[in-house]
């Protein structure tokens, strides 16, 4: 599962219409917005390609000026990183793992 935070810009006068279009699209979840036309959403997908496709569709919604990636989280990448960290931790001698306060 991948989750990405997207910052969307629209003209202030189009904000409500764009929010409604985003909600109706089923492409994302709307979280925050301000009076200047900035809208914060999250997009989920089974892979990066699915997320990219959803962002492209968001960019095609009328009155959306831009949609930019703010952050991305990939469950598979996190699992792989944790596995690597566990292997590194197991390679450290026990004498180096203990802390002075552990005694």
Q: Quick check: 39 and 22 in contact, CB under 8 A?
A: yes
Domains contained in the chain, number: 1
Task: Extract the tokens encoding 55.
Answer: 């962002």
Residue 103 within any structural domain of the chain: no
Residue bearing the bigger pLDDT, 67 or 92: 67
Residue bearing the bigger pLDDT, 35 or 76: 35
Residue 15 within any structural domain of the chain: yes
Whether residue 53 has pLDDT greater than 60: yes
Mean pLDDT within 24-36: 97
Containing structural domain, residue 91: 2-97
Residue bearing the bigger pLDDT, 73 or 6: 6
Residue 62 within any structural domain of the chain: yes
Residue 37 within any structural domain of the chain: yes
**Closest to 22 measured CA to CA, from 2, 1, 6:** 6
| Distance in angstroms (rounded) separating the CA atoms of residues 95 and 103 | 12
Q: Which residues contact 100 (CB under 8 A, 6 or more apart)?
A: none
Residue 102 within any structural domain of the chain: no
Q: What is the CATH number of the domain that holds 79?
A: 3.30.70.920
pLDDT of residue 83: 66
Q: Quick check: 15 and 30 in contact, CB under 8 A?
A: no
């Amino acid at each position: 599962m991948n989750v990405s935070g997207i910052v969307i810009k629209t003209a202030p006068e189009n904000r409500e219409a764009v929010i409604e279009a985003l909600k109706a699209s089923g492409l994302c979840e709307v979280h925050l917005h301000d009076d200047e036309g900035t809208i914060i959403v999250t997009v989920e997908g089974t892979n990066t390609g699915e997320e990219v496709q959803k962002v492209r569709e968001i960019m095609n919604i009328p009155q959306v000026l831009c949609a930019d990636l703010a952050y991305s989280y990939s469950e598979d990448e996190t699992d792989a990183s944790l596995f690597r960290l566990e292997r590194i931790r197991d390679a450290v001698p026990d004498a180096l793992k203990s802390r002075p306060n552990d005694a």
